[in-house]
Amino acid sequence: MILTENQQQVLQQVLLHFPNEQLYWLSGYLSAKISSTNPVATPQIGMAIVPNAANDSEKVLTILFGTQSGNSKKVATQAAAYMTQKGWQVTVKNMKDYVLKSLVTEKNLWIVVSTHGEGVPPIAAEDWYDFIHSKKAPKLPQLRFAVVALGDSSYVNFGKVGKDIDQRLEQLGGTRLLPCVVCDVDYESSAEQWWQQAAEKLPSVGDSPTSTTFVVSAAAINAPAATVYSRKNPFLATLTEKIQLNGRGSAKQTYHIELSLDGSNMRYEVGDSLGILPNNPLPTVEALLSCMSFDPQEIVQHQDESLSLMAALTHYLEITTLHPKLVEKYNQLAQSNTLANYLQQPNELKNFCYGRDVIDLLRDFPVSLTAQALVTLLTPLTPRLYSIASSLTAYPDEVHLTVGAVQYENQARKRYGCCSTYLQYAETEQKIPVYVDSNEVFRLPNDPQSPIIMVGAGTGIAPFRAFVQERAEQENAGKSWLFFGNPHFATDFLYQTEWLKYLKNKQLTQMNVAFSRDTAQKMYVQHQLQKNARQLYEWLEAGAYFYVCGDMNKMAKDVHHALIDIVQQEQKCSHEAASNYVKQLRKQQRYLEDVY
């Protein structure tokens, strides 16, 4: 069968709208649709039908995912596409949608789950996680399982939820197909190896689906495919605008950054983040070289490439932060009792790492290292994610960011944030390597009439600027209420003119601000929430969605506690009942966080 020129054009346009994981899924679906003699349902999360599997009860696989930002869902979908091509009937489900009593009937189960914060499951996975750890959990002697844990090695409890699930399924009698795989932020390659290895451990049952050969024209083969940009293949966006948002005399340096996406066909939704691949700050690189007395031009090997040590430290290796994983690796060489004690106490290790960098480790716990040994020891430089501060509807082919410069003194040495410094000193027209990191769990409501409450402090205002821009482009959008906090009204009221314009045009219904250093008693966003308790509760009862963006360990926790107190006050109920009310908001995906 040969595609007509018109069909080719239509196909190329359609494929532009699908990311890689959905293309994988569609490939399995199309193969099934062609090969099956029965009608095939539209593929979706929760169901997949493939040829030659319907009559084979053993060749059935369930993949559950628990996600906070959407990465676990991506991996689950890609793994499902891989298995459908091998002739398996695969069901993919969000843990929050899984019928718990069905667990006892599962024979082949894969788990893809992230760890949220300091070792807790994502909201969507809480009930499933609690169930398998409860006395109600069934024995599972018939179960074959495999677990991949997504996480971030900068946290002490790296991949803890996945490890917990893996251990618990074994305790319940399940048979582990392969050891739990824990993936860092650059999870793609490790996750792909996991599902390929797990597939090899499953029983080989039945035949593979019949392959189908397509004949297409040379024009179709040569037609330009839609480019998918990622951390491994970023788009070089042009820096078009950089504005210092703080007034003179502010202790903060916050920048409004505008990047052109012209020619990329990149798409994002409000709530998504932008990944940036930065360089390390030059002063930090030079300080590290001086600390170790290394020749910056010495040639080293990194990922099968020969390059100068200066280039490796500038472009490829993590040096501005100190991670528990690195401390553990380093102490295998240093054999320090002090570091060993930190490694035995997660909270102490977390406090030790905070505010320190690689130079501190090398200086305070010296060992003899060659340049190559140092390069081998260090972890890859990871992209930094920033909440997108613009709506693509309002600003086609542009993406805006709100970036706080990170610079501070610690132990008599000036420290620089990696990416914020990179952007702070970037010049107009400079090319910045970027990609979109989708955040499917931080979206505006599907119904534009639904009220929204937005709580952000400092640069946490970024996604709400995008939200309000998007709503301003919609007709008859619902009510919106913004809470914003920063130190001083005169110098730190980020995007003040824009907010006043939206209020005047009634595109923002209400705004409450908290400038903590302008009053004798410090005022924070959680205090403004409590001052407006009755109205806030009425909005929630009317179906409002509640959004929080900002610091995870301080602001977000304080807002959470304040919300429980407000519900308890307005309902005149117990603290437990109020906590359950707020928990239900989370489960209904009406209480959403973008925290860091």
**Helix/strand/coil (H/E/C) assignment for every residue in 41-65:** CCCECCECCCCCCCCCCCCEEEEEE
pLDDT tens-digit map of 257-267: 999 999 999 99
584: tokens are 């239900």
What is the pLDDT, as a whole number, of residue 383? 94
Return phi, psi of residue 81, to 5°.
-60, -40
Tell me if the domain spanning 282-377 has CATH number 1.20.990.10.
yes
Q: Is 508 helix (H, G, I), strand (E, B) or coil?
A: coil
Q: Please check whether residue 485 is in contact with residue 525, taking contact to mean a CB–CB distance below 8 angstroms.
A: yes
- Could you give the CA distance from residue 463 to residue 421 in angstroms, rounded to a whole number? 21
Domain ranges of the chain: 5-201, 235-278+383-437, 282-377, 452-595
Between the alpha carbon of residue 363 and those of residues 288, 310, 353, the distances in Å are 9, 19, 14
Q: Hey, how many other C-beta atoms are within 10 angstroms of the C-beta on 264?
A: 17
Q: Give the pairing of strands 273-276 and 384-387.
A: antiparallel
Q: Which helix (H) or strand (E) holds 183?
A: strand 181-183
Q: Give the pairing of strands 452-457 and 545-550.
A: parallel
What is the pLDDT, as a whole number, of residue 57? 55
465: tokens are 């600027």
What's the angle, vertex CA 238, arms to CA 232 and CA 242, rounded to 5? 120
Return phi, psi of residue 167, to 5°.
-65, -40
Residue 125 DSSP symbol:
G
CATH architecture of residue range(s) 5-201: 3-Layer(aba) Sandwich (3.40)
- Could you give the CA distance from residue 80 to residue 76 in angstroms, rounded to a whole number? 6
Q: Please check whether residue 282 is in contact with residue 314, taking contact to mean a CB–CB distance below 8 angstroms.
A: yes
Residue 217 DSSP symbol:
-
Tell me the β-bridge partners of 111. 64, 147
What is the pLDDT, as a whole number, of residue 226? 55
Q: Is 400 helix (H, G, I), strand (E, B) or coil?
A: strand
Q: Please check whether residue 308 is in contact with residue 289, taking contact to mean a CB–CB distance below 8 angstroms.
A: no
Buried-state track 324-358, b at ≥16 Cβ within 10 A, e below 16: bbbbeebbeebebeebeebbeebeebbebbeebbb
Q: Is 138 helix (H, G, I), strand (E, B) or coil?
A: coil
What is the pLDDT, as a whole number, of residue 181? 93
Residue 326: name the closest of 187, 421, 184 by CA: 184
Residue 438: name the closest of 77, 12, 159 by CA: 77
pLDDT beneath 50: ranges in the chain: 1-2, 4-10, 12-17, 20-21, 24-25, 28-29, 31-44, 47-56, 206-224
Q: How many residues does the chain have?
A: 596
- Could you give the CA distance from residue 278 to residue 130 in angstroms, rounded to a whole number? 39
- Which residue's entry shows tokens 């959680």? 526
- Could you give the CA distance from residue 95 to residue 74 in angstroms, rounded to a whole number? 14
Q: Which helix (H) or strand (E) holds 519?
A: none
pLDDT tens-digit map of 358-369: 999 999 999 999
What's the angle, vertex CA 164, arms to CA 65 and CA 586, rounded to 5? 50
Q: Do the domains 282-377 and 5-201 match in fold?
A: no
Q: Hey, how many other C-beta atoms are within 10 angstroms of the C-beta on 305?
A: 10
What is the pLDDT, as a whole number, of residue 495? 98
Q: CATH code for 452-595? A: 3.40.50.80
Between the alpha carbon of residue 275 and those of residues 229, 235, 401, the distances in Å are 10, 10, 11
Q: Please check whether residue 75 is in contact with residue 38, taking contact to mean a CB–CB distance below 8 angstroms.
A: no
Q: Please check whether residue 84 is in contact with residue 48, taking contact to mean a CB–CB distance below 8 angstroms.
A: yes
Q: What is the CA radius of gyration of the chain?
A: 26
Residue 444: name the closest of 386, 393, 499, 496 by CA: 393
What is the pLDDT, as a whole number, of residue 178? 95
Tell me the β-bridge partners of 402. 256
Q: Where do the H-state alpha helices sit in 50-187? A: 71-85, 126-132, 160-171
One-letter amino acid identity for 336? S
Q: Please check whether residue 544 is in contact with residue 454, taking contact to mean a CB–CB distance below 8 angstroms.
A: no
What pTM value is reported for the model? 0.82
Kindly state which CATH superfamily the domain 235-278+383-437 is placed in.
Answer: Translation factors (2.40.30.10)
User: What HEC string does 296-365 produce?
Assistant: CCCEEEECCEEEEHHHHHHHCECCCCCCHHHHHHHHHHHCCHHHHHHHHCHHHHHHHHCCCCHHHHHHHC
